[in-house]
Amino acid sequence: MKLKYLSGILLLMVTLFATSCDEDDDYSIRAGEIISEITTGSATVTAVSAEVQGTVKDLNLVSSASYEVGAYYSTNADPTTSGTKKSGTADKSGNVTTSLSGLTTGTTYYYATYVTLQNKVTYFGDVKSFVATNAVVTTNDATDVTFSKATFSANITGTEGLGTIETGVKLALSANGVTSGINRELTTVGGLLPGTTYYYAAYAKVGEGYVYGETKKLTTATQAMEYVDLGLSVMWASSNIGADTESDAGTLFGYGDQTAMLTSNKLEDYLSTDIAGTTEDIIFNLNLDGDSPMKSQMPTKAQIAELVNNTTQTWETVEGVQGMRFTANNGNSIFLPAAGYREGETAVADAAGYYWSGTAYSVNNDYSNTLTFDSSSAKTGFSRRSLGLSLRSVRAYAVVNPDSGKLVFGDLESNGRLRIEIYNEYGATNGNSPIDPTSIKFSKNMVVTFALTGITDNLKSGAAGSYVAGLEYSDPTWGVSYWSELNMGKYEAMVNGDGTYTVWMEVTAQANGAVVFCIDIKDLWADIADTSKVGVEVSSIKLDADVEQAVNQSIVSFNNKDGNGTDGRIEIYNEYSTSGAAAQGYYNNSLLFNGLMLVDFTIGGITGNLASGASGSYKTELSYAAASWDPSYWGGANYGSATVTGDGTYQVYTYLKGDCAGAVVWTVELYDLWKDLVDASKVNVTINKVITPGKK
């Protein structure tokens, strides 16, 4: 029996499974004042016994001496009128357990949970049935366990003659909770949570009677979630929680559900406050971040709005799954499958996507804010908190911001260099560090941005004016490190006065922590007239940063530079040439960086295509001008060029002082190559990648 409320008035269905009540009955025992719901649950059965479950809500409002709970059972279809009464026990949540014995194998029994108040009035739950059986279920070990899936199987015997048999597996997060866990088929089950221990038991079911195998457990693999840089305030995960590919729907969660198993339709079973990034946020509590110092979490409403407003949305089908692709100005994208939603235990597929934010809906707390999309549009929305929706995590960029007031700098090694000591186990920053050295964790790269003041107009007469800066770093193992030779390689910066600069490094193994972490600037300290005027700030340390820029390969071409008949040119973009005509202002909204630009390219069609007497060796340099023509570089430096000697892959780079936005001219010059080619039409080029560590 369920008691329903409408507009604040209790509608008590007293005629359903209730004994009679007189007008002079004690007010305190009326079910409408105490019991809001009574239900009959499932049964665990053997050949001669059963343990039946049920629930009675709101028993905590009265003392245990004022009520009795249990079950009535019978071989007749209505045990509430002619059945046998058996008392049971109730826990603090109103879960009722009743043990039945002396049953006859092969017989169908009907049962209903009851509650009697002060020995005067009895109410029943709905009637259910089971068959006493000597069937045997053996739970097999789960196989093919990943971070989101496992395959379950069982051996089941003795079910002959029982009619329709349902088989499956129960999953729970505790051994005691298996019989009340969620039902899944004996097959590969997806939507599991990473790094989570599950308890499970196979079953055979007749009516509401379950025969269980033994309870076993498994632990899913941990997952290091992959994130995509969309140029927004946070990175977005490449797949849903509980999914192992971008097109997999993953798990559907009620708002604030920490278990991924809650299927109740009652709002009171779900949270109603902001939870993003708190201990109530299931994503925050999952171990999705590997060695990153940043924590994954649910997106906020504002972050969802940012995603919608700053990307282009296209409806796509990926691996047979429909969904929305969100593509950012930097060319990166994420695909979100249209997984529909779940209401109670029923999945509803309606060709739309619904994703929780971690922000409660301020207008009506029955709802929380969402990302909602279909084939026509994407928008911020809101959904009832009891619905099961998808989850997509976000994570802050791995950025460490040092306390610049604790930096130590100067000619610390008496070699004329300006050393900026961020951390040195053997230096002055040990014990008073600008950073927590254990937070320096990365597996791909580390990008450090720093600013200098007091350099311009403060150099000695005859000073060089330009100085190479580079990183000196090692993790505590001394095995993951970079020691700059300060010769203006692709990891260094060219310092030529006050300004902001970027140095970086790449690794092929995991770095965990720091033992030495400094920036050296060759010869600079020796050339400063008044060192007391120098100021230093390290504004950010980016870990595993996205350093690549997207390139439109369709407008890249090989041609003759300026029509001079002499030099070859790889034109990445030129406002005054074919690429500009094809895509006017193409990079103006997507290219923003400071410092180094490196272009990695492959050229073919040179080998075997040179005229007799050709040199076969061609100096190659990068040319670039931002959309405003400043900063720019037109070659001539003593670093960053390459020598092209035939078909192959090459790199050219330069260091640009100041912030670069967009492009007006962006080319790779191959001096003297054009005149030496027999057939220029055979030459083909591919831009493999463009690296800008100072990417904004």
Q: pLDDT tens, 624-682?
A: 999 999 999 999 999 999 999 999 999 999 999 999 999 999 999 999 999 999 999 99
Task: Give the three-class secondary structure for 348.
Answer: strand
Same fold, 4-129 and 136-219: yes
| φ/ψ of residue 676, rounded to 5 | -95, -5
Asked if residue 12 has pLDDT above 80, the reply is: no
Provide the residue ranges of all domains of the chain, joining segments of one domain with +: 4-129, 136-219, 227-395, 400-543, 548-691
CATH architecture of the region 4-129: Sandwich (2.60)
CA distance 44 to 50: 5
Task: Check residues 400 and 101 and name the one with the higher pLDDT.
Answer: 101
Report the amino acid identity of residue 229. Answer: D
- CA pair distance 428, 424, nearest whole angstrom: 7
Using a 10 angstrom Cβ sphere, with 0-12 exposed, 13-18 middle and 19 or more buried, the burial of residue 98 is: buried
Give the C-alpha separation, 645 to 471, whole Å: 32
Pairing of strands 209-212, 227-228: unpaired
Residue 442 has pLDDT above 80, yes or no: yes
In the chain, % of residues over pLDDT 70 = 95
Please state, rounded to an integer, the average pLDDT across all residues of the chain.
92
Helix (H) or strand (E) holding 543: strand 535-543
* 407 pLDDT more than 80: yes
How many Å apart are CA 15 and CA 2, to the nearest integer? 12
pLDDT digits (tens, 9 = 90+) for 355-391: 999 999 999 999 999 999 999 999 999 999 999 999 9
Is the Cβ–Cβ distance between 471 and 501 less than 8 Å?
A: no
Measured between alpha carbons, how far is 430 from 300 in angstroms, rounded to an integer?
38
The encoded tokens of residue 449 equal 């941005």
Alpha carbon distance, N-terminus to C-terminus of the chain = 61
Range scoring the smallest mean pLDDT among 55-64, 72-81, 585-594:
55-64
Distance CA 256, CA 276 (A): 9
State the Cα–Cα distance between residues 274 and 256, nearest whole angstrom. Answer: 9
Query: How far, in Å, CA of 599 to CA of 579, rounded?
Result: 18
Kindly report whether the global pTM for this prediction surpasses the value 0.85.
Answer: no
pLDDT value of position 477:
96
For residue 501, what are its two tokens? 């600069």
Q: What pLDDT score was predicted for residue 36?
A: 78
Is there a contact between 18 and 25 (Cβ–Cβ < 8 Å)? no
**Domain 136-219: assigned CATH number:** 2.60.40.10
Quickly list DSSP for 220-254: PPP----EE--SSSSEEESS-TT-SSTT-----B-
